[in-house]
Amino acid sequence: MEHIVIIGNGISGVTAARHIRKNSDKKITIVSAESKYFFSRTALMYVYMGHMKFEHTQPYENWFWDKNSIDLKEGFVTHLNTDEKILTFKDSSTLAYDKLIIATGSKPNKFGWPGQDLKGVMGMYHKQDLENLEKHAPNKEVCKRAVIVGGGLIGIELAEMLRSRKIPVTFLVREASFWNGVLPTQESEMITKHIKEHHIDLRLSTNLKEIKADENGTVKSIIIEETGEEIFCNVVGLTAGVVPNIDFLKDSNIATKRGILVNRFLETNIPHVYAIGDCAEQHEAIGQRRNIEAVWYTGRMMGEALAQTICGKKREYNPGHWFNSAKFLDIEYQTYGWVFSERDKLEHEKYFQWQHPKENICITISYDKNTHQFLGINTFGIRMRHEIFDKWLTENKPIAHVLEFLSDANFDPEFYKLYEVEILSKFNQENNTNIQLKKKSWKRIFSL
């Protein structure tokens, strides 16, 4: 019987295992050094914040794996021999495979800061990070202050987690405005203001120089590069992005750059060895996507596509239109298609923006200034329907169509206030147009 071994029990590896089992009776073994059972990584923050217990993050009961004939092996892989098709573990044990799927995810970026490996320095990516955070920051009495380095989505999540336990937070962000390398200025400035309103000590245009230790080798303070200021703290969160977790492959003959190089079928340069999820790097980017995408849903889609290939129905990985969602403290964020920061904006792109005068609600719509084709949308504080925007992007709808039917894409509950009239009015005023909401849209708005 063909033996499929999967290194990594995150969303990519587990999805591949589930779909291989649905379509075959192959022997499947999932290998993990992090935890025996699959859990939802994105839910770790809610465990720390007291909204759920760790066992609630596990979508499958422990009996699920035996019932579906999926073997689980705990262990850390240190070496891979692709000639003999054998994995070697830290305890010197070995495991043979017929086909290998590498789904080892990512790890926090480290930039050679002095003290970056001290006790009390952590990311927020793995179960062990949650355990470290509970140890070093159980409350404000033990942790007098935490410093977070890096202004991405995980950084803001970690800040929210710590503030939920009333632990003071200093947030070091190298950009002049929060996430301004991703978001247009209007949105970046709104989020920057929102962070400060939550009593987070946000330091913009600020870099970490070093992390200092006490006599026990634990974090004592950090030094800011620009000013030399010392900030005393008990925890340092490193959230300056991630890098593929592939150190164990350095002596193998698998081709890598930042990640494991794969083609559209997620095949590496070695026959019967595949890579999926955060650790996989496309030889050539798919459209405007990055070669490496550390996103939950793309990992799931890779697992589904590869399972079909493993089971004899070869399928290209095709993630479709870009979308993502996140939460900046109290503000929900969604993006569909492409809305770049001003720094990366393309020559043919034009932005229409609307922002509520008082509340943290805004949208940015990107469209082609020549053809008026809809290219993408960012929304903050307004929930939108994925399937509608996906359809509009596929059908290359013009911005006029998007504005006419914008309320049909609104996913907010029935009694939420709607803003389509104000949004459309601003667009008409700025562009000297007379676009009208369609009858279906008007009916929904005025039914309130």
Tens of pLDDT, residue by residue over 106-144, are: 999 999 999 999 999 999 989 999 999 999 999 999 999
> Averaged over 425-436, what is the pLDDT?
95
pLDDT higher than 50, residue 155: yes
Q: What is the pLDDT of residue 235?
A: 98
Model confidence pLDDT, tens digit, residues 370-396: 999 999 999 999 999 999 999 999 999
> Averaged over 401-429, what is the pLDDT?
90
Nearby residues of 402 by Cβ (< 8 Å), 6 or more positions away: 365, 374, 377, 392, 409
Task: Give the whole-angstrom CA distance, residue 247 versus residue 442.
Answer: 57
Q: What is the pLDDT of residue 444?
A: 47
Nearby residues of 107 by Cβ (< 8 Å), 6 or more positions away: 123, 125, 242, 243, 244, 245
Q: What is the pLDDT of residue 8?
A: 97
Residue 417's pLDDT band, with cuts at 50, 70 and 90, is: confident
Nearby residues of 335 by Cβ (< 8 Å), 6 or more positions away: 322, 323, 324, 325, 376, 377, 378, 379
Please answer whether residues 260 and 250 qualify as being in contact, where contact means their C-beta atoms are separated by less than 8 angstroms. no
| Predicted structure pTM score | 0.93
Q: What is the pLDDT of residue 446?
A: 41
Rounded (10°) CA dihedral 29, 32, 36, 40: -110
User: Considering the chain, what percentage of its residues have pLDDT values greater than 70?
Assistant: 97
Q: What is the pLDDT of residue 442?
A: 42
Please answer whether residues 100 and 3 qualify as being in contact, where contact means their C-beta atoms are separated by less than 8 angstroms. no
Domains delineated in the chain: 3-107+243-310 (3.50.50.60), 121-240 (3.50.50.60), 323-446 (3.30.390.30)
Lowest mean per-residue pLDDT among 202-216, 361-375, 427-441? 427-441
Q: What is the pLDDT of residue 416?
A: 77
> Averaged over 35-60, what is the pLDDT?
94
Closest CA to 207 of 150, 155, 154, 146: 150
Residue 151's pLDDT band, with cuts at 50, 70 and 90, is: confident
**CB burial of residue 25 (10 Å; 0-12, 13-18, 19+):** exposed
> Averaged over 45-52, what is the pLDDT?
96
Closest CA to 158 of 121, 207, 190: 121
Q: What is the pLDDT of residue 440?
A: 58
> Averaged over 12-33, what is the pLDDT?
98
Q: What is the pLDDT of residue 412?
A: 82
> Averaged over 321-344, what is the pLDDT?
95
Q: What is the pLDDT of residue 443?
A: 44
CB atoms within 10 A of CB 22: 10
> Averaged over 403-412, what is the pLDDT?
91
pLDDT higher than 80, residue 308: yes
pLDDT higher than 50, residue 448: no
The angle subtended at Cα 124 by Cα 118 and Cα 129, nearest 5°, is: 60
> Averaged over 229-252, what is the pLDDT?
95
